Structures are given as structure tokens and as C-alpha cells.
A and B are shown apart, each in its own frame.
Chain A
Amino acid sequence: MPVLARWIEAAGIPTVVVTMMPAVAEERRTPRIVGVEFPYGHAFGMPHDKAMQRRVLELALRVLAGAASSGTRVDFDTEWPVPLREAYKSWQPKVPSPIVRKLLEARAQAST
């Protein structure tokens, strides 16, 4: 996603990335970054929590319009309201993705 933002920005269109991994976006020289400490798949917050979603969107717009230089990062000041263990488990797919399955198979093979 950082690289996609860079390509669009290089084409002349200002961008902001709302991301769970703002440190990675910084390393990849993303022009404008909003960090959210949310589980994957939840960039704008909790389902049905309109107030929270609106605050994230407003912050993204503020950073988009008001960042003065490339690499600007502002983090969203709200913790995820679900206990970590539960949230960590619930964002993950019910079946491991093909690449994770492949890595697990390789690991199992290496240990036999």
C-alpha cells in the first residue's frame, strides 16, 4: 500500500494512507500517514461505531490537507476497545492463507 500511494502521488495526486503499520509506512517513504492501532481489516474502526469511524476519516482529511512535508505521520489517539487476545484472533482468516499454509508445510517438513 505505501508503494501504491507513492505511485499515485508521483502521478500528481496527493494521498494519505490510513494504516495499522505506520512505522512500516514511514520506512517506505509514504508521503502522508495516519496510524491506527486497530486489527487488520478495520482501518476506520469498529463496525457500526459511526462516531469512531468519523473521527478516523476526519483525521485522514486533516493530514491530507494540512501536512506540510512528505513523511508526515499522525497517530489516532484511541485504543482498540476489544481485549487483545480476542481481537488478535478474530481478524485472522478461519483457514490459513495459501502462503501461510505453504510456510507451515515447509516448517513441518524441515522438522521431520
Chain B
Amino acid sequence: MIVDSYRFLPRSFRPFYEGRGPFPGEESPVWAPFEKRLSASRIALLTSAGVYMKESQPTFDLEREDANPEWGDPTWRVIPATARPEDFAFAHLHINPEDMLADPEIALPLRGLAELVDEGVVGGSVVDHVAVMGYQDRGLEDWGHTTAPEIAAHLREQGADALILAPA
């Protein structure tokens, strides 16, 4: 089946997304070849659901977004592969977090990945996965200049061979 990309989107939001083409500077393809076997690769996960470790990390700044609705917190968090569902909180004003709180695997499948590692399908998981909050200002200045390079450096440090990103 071919997915309807707008099935769950309020109709009035559709023009913000549809038919806009590549943004300036994004016209050409990018490509990093996946050169290893999966069974010899270390995989990292990234969610944009605004996940953070509620005992040890600050929340994403939702108060500032409330005061300035065009702005979204551009910072990122490391999420240990060993985190338990009860360790998480979600800070994202654009989605209802109920189902993610009930089962965080739907946003960040730490256990699912660990199972595939145990079975030998995947070589390994990084020690620390990544979380961001996906609502960002249009220009994406902070993500581009700071967050993305920091995440890339983190992934290299973790020995990640590839990254699975899941928007909220």
C-alpha cells in the first residue's frame, strides 16, 4: 500500500507541507553508503518526540515556546539504551503524549532494537541514543549550526554505523 501522507493531518495544515519541494540548499541528494552487514553494524535511534530522562535531565523549554509560538527548543538529550519506560517524560506541545507514556517503544524502540541485537540480526546498539523536540522555528538556525553537528559528533563518538530517525 502507498501511504497517504496527509491522512491524520488537519486539512488547514496541509498547505504548510504539501508541494513545497526542496528548500534552498537542499536540491541535491546526499548519500552516505551503508557498507557493512547489519549483523556487524552498530545502530543508533533518534526521536523528535521531546523525550527526556525525568530524574536527571531538564525538560525542553515549553514556557518559552508558549511565550513565543514561532520558537521551539533546539537542544537535544542523550537517552541511555538501558532506560526503562518509567524513566521518561515527554515535552511536546503538538501531540498528545498518552500513548507514548503508556508504551515509549512507539517513539523510541529501545527494547525492540535490543531484541534484534540479542538475536544477531543487528550487530549492536549505541550506549546513548538521541532525543530532540521536533517543533522548530522555520529557519532551523540552531539545529543547523549547533544541534546537528553536535549529534553527528556524538554518533561518531558512540561508534554508530547508522541512524534511524523517527519524527513524532
Q: Which residues does A use to contact B, with CB under 8 Å?
A: 1, 3-24, 27-29, 31, 35-48, 50, 53-54, 57-58, 60-61, 64-67, 69-71, 75-79, 84, 87-88, 90-95, 97-99, 101-102
Contact = CB atoms under 8 A, between A and B. Distances in A.
B7 A37 contact: yes
Interface of B: 1-9, 17-23, 26-34, 37-38, 41, 43, 46-49, 65-66, 68-70, 93-100, 102-103, 105-107, 109, 112-113, 115-116, 121-122, 132, 134-135, 140, 143-144, 147-149, 151-152, 155-156, 160-168
Chain B interface, >50% SS class: loop
13 contacts: A3-B23, A4-B46, A12-B32, A13-B162, A18-B164, A20-B5, A27-B22, A28-B23, A36-B3, A42-B99, A47-B102, A93-B95, A102-B69
B112 A53 contact: yes
B162 A64 contact: yes
Nearest to A98: B69
Given A21-B9, A21-B167, A79-B1, 11 more contacts: A1-B48, A9-B30, A11-B32, A19-B167, A20-B8, A21-B5, A48-B103, A50-B105, A54-B112, A57-B113, A98-B66
Contacts of A93: 93-96
